[in-house]
Amino acid sequence: MVKFVSAPYIKYLYSLYCHVAFLLLFTYLLLCDFFPLYDIPFDSCGILHGLENVADLKNVTKTESNHNNETNIKTAAPYGLQKHGQPSIEEYILFVWVSTLLFEELRQFVSGEVPSTYKKISTYLSPFWNKLDILAILLFYVGCVLRFLPSAECFCAARIVLSFDLTLWFIRSLEIFAAIRRLGPKLLMIGEM
């Protein structure tokens, strides 16, 4: 059993499945579960720009009364701008996951065999994938910091930064597919163009 688990192909599959799970969790968070922790005005983030009149913002519900029919008009917050008291559990899981990826990158940097610090940095940064990892991790933490600042503009900026960060993580998945016999050479050819 130990030989099976420690086989290179099985390690590759574990890495692939974990990376896909990471991408699914990050995508779910941004699409379905990313809400502000404070009240945001309705006209922020450019969501409602371009509406012609205020009637487009109203949610009209009819309530039956014993005496007459009344129309209750109330303004509803657009989806994605509802206030939540604290970050979701998915955000905590994602934060821990990216932190472990940061520690793995630090371990790779420290375990370099080069004696001088300058050579160690240049050796570590020579592969494209390490540069992409550093950029993706930094953007994630910048997005997290922006997300917790009490400003509508910062929340919108956090959405944008984290969306760009998710794109980088998807690009990062190309390295995983480089090990596949049919895709690997094609990815190398595309990279050389």
Per-residue pLDDT at 117 exceeds 80: yes
Distance CA 193, CA 188 (A): 9
Give the pLDDT confidence score for residue 101 in this predicted structure.
95
For residues 105-121, give the mean pLDDT. 88
Q: Check if the beta carbon of residue 94 is closer than 8 Å to that of residue 29.
A: yes
Specify the higher pLDDT residue, 59 or 131.
131
Asked if 151 and 73 sit in the same domain, the reply is no
What confidence score (pLDDT) does residue 42 get?
A: 53
For residues 160 and 122, membership in a common domain is answered with: yes
- Segment among 38-52, 83-97, 106-120, 177-191 with least mean pLDDT: 38-52
Structural domain range at position 63: 46-79
For residue 172, count other CB atoms closer than 10 A to its CB.
18
Residues 106 and 11 in one domain: yes
Share of the chain above pLDDT 90, in %: 36
Q: Which of 111, 89, 171 is nearest to 136 (CA)?
A: 171
> How many C-alpha atoms does 145 have within 13 Å on its Cβ side?
6
Co-location of 72 and 146 in the same domain: no
Average pLDDT over residues 157-174: 94
Question: Do residues 65 and 134 share a domain?
Answer: no
140 CB burial (10 A radius; 0-12, 13-18, 19+): buried
**Mean pLDDT computed over 180-189:** 80
Higher pLDDT, 168 or 78: 168
57 phi and psi angles, rounded to 5 deg: -85, -15
Domain identity same for 73 and 149: no
Q: Is the pLDDT of residue 58 over 50?
A: no
Round to whole Å and give the CA distance between 139 and 184. Answer: 28
Q: In this model, does residue 128 exceed pLDDT 50? A: yes
> DSSP string covering 31-48, please?
HHS---SS---TTGGGSS
Count of structural domains within the chain: 2
Predicted confidence (pLDDT) per residue in 26-55, tens digit? 999 999 888 887 776 655 565 444 444 444
35 & 59 share domain:
no
Nearest partner of 29 among 39, 18, 21, judged by Cα: 21
Are 89 and 115 contained in the same domain? yes
- Of 77, 88, 95, nearest to 143 by C-alpha is 95
Specify whether 7 is located in the same domain as 73: no
- pTM, two decimals, is 0.74
